[in-house]
């Protein structure tokens, strides 16, 4: 009887975990999805205003590092999900006049 109870509890936990992972995977974009959005919206030479407008439009938190000439951005909504889903960290590189040059997307796991 105890073995059957353990089996049922284990099965329910596995089902719950599967549903959680499926739900969360729909909420966290893949690196390639983030890259596609950036490629579609930003072009080399875009102004500081255009870059910041884009970041605000997609709802990402961002900061500019004047020493490295880059924006660091991320979607704070991803913080609400389990760590195993990872987070997308975005770097938008600019020249000295803050014009867009290139970008990098990294998947990090806190």
* pLDDT for residue 15: 47
Longest Cα–Cα distance in the chain: 72
Structural domain harbouring 40: 29-108
Asked whether residue 61 is domain-assigned, the answer is: yes
Asked whether residue 96 is domain-assigned, the answer is: yes
At 94, the pLDDT band (50, 70, 90 cuts) reads: very high
Structurally, the chain folds into a number of domains equal to 1
CB environment 75-99: b (16+ within 10 A), e (fewer): beebeebeeebbbbbbebebeeebe
Asked whether residue 90 is domain-assigned, the answer is: yes
Asked whether residue 22 is domain-assigned, the answer is: no
Reply yes or no on whether the pLDDT at 13 is more than 70: no
Q: Does the model's pTM come out above 0.85?
A: no
At 3, the pLDDT band (50, 70, 90 cuts) reads: confident
Asked whether residue 92 is domain-assigned, the answer is: yes
Distance CA 38, CA 51 (A): 10
Distance CA 93, CA 100 (A): 6
């Amino acid at each position: 009887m105890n073995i059957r109870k353990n089996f049922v509890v284990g099965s329910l936990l596995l089902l719950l975990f599967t549903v959680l992972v499926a739900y969360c995977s729909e909420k966290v974009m893949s690196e390639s999805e983030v890259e596609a959005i950036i490629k579609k919206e930003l072009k080399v030479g875009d102004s500081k205003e255009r870059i910041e407008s884009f970041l605000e439009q997609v709802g990402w938190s961002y900061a500019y590092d004047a020493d490295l000439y880059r924006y660091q951005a991320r979607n704070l909504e991803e913080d609400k999900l389990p760590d195993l889903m990872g987070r997308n960290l975005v770097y938008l590189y600019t020249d000295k006049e803050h014009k867009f040059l290139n970008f990098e997307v990294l998947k990090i796991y806190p």
